[in-house]
Amino acid sequence: MRPRHNTLLLITLIITTALAACGMSATPAATIITCTFAGSGTAITLDGERLVFTCPNVGGDNAALVGNVRAGPNGWQIDKKTYKKSGSTYQTTSTSAVTITSILLADATQCDFVGTGATIILNGKRVNFTCPNAGNDSVALVGEIQVVAQGWTIEKDTYTKTASGFVVKSSAQVPIRSIDVAPAQ
């Protein structure tokens, strides 16, 4: 588990304990799972959709993210399918929409979804994920995920705020290593 997930679990435990002491209950936080890029070689398809990211197994079944990212009511969504291998084919056992909560880039930058409301625009593209600062500069993922031969990429911008607005200092398409997802609300 990454430190950020440990912190979230600790906060949830503290709040749940405090509420229980007051005779109240808390709804458990959504379960966040990390799905890792499956590679760009020979692809498994589930119901005609390419398996893109592999996820932790669910009740003995394999799990994966398939298809394309789409806008959902609370953020970017993608389908998570559980499946079993049957001979030389794969059979889907369940499908559910999941919401992308964060993206880990190939350069080890972890970026969190900013939400569906207002946000800033850099070079005509919406900031969708914020990342740790690079010195005095801000870092964000902007625009849409791009599907390329080597996998999925997204534009990573380093920018600063000036008196006249936001100025992009550098911009690059960076491969996505893994995606954290939670059940869609």
DSSP letters spanning the chain:
--HHHHHHHHHHHHHHHHHHHTT---PPPPPPEEEEE--SSSPPEETTEEEEEEEEEETTEEEEEEEEEEEETTEEEEEEEEEEEETTEEEEEEEEEEEEEEEEETTS-EEEE--SS---EETTEEEEEEEEEETTEEEEEEEEEEEETTEEEEEEEEEEEETTEEEEEEEEEEEEEEEEEEE--
Strands 75-86 and 61-72: antiparallel
Which tens digits make up the pLDDT trace of 72-106? 888 999 999 999 988 888 999 999 999 999 999 99
Which tens digits make up the pLDDT trace of 125-157? 999 999 999 999 999 999 999 988 888 999 999
Which tens digits make up the pLDDT trace of 47-71? 988 888 999 998 889 999 998 899 8
In this prediction the pTM is: 0.80
Name the strand (E) or helix (H) holding 126. strand 125-134
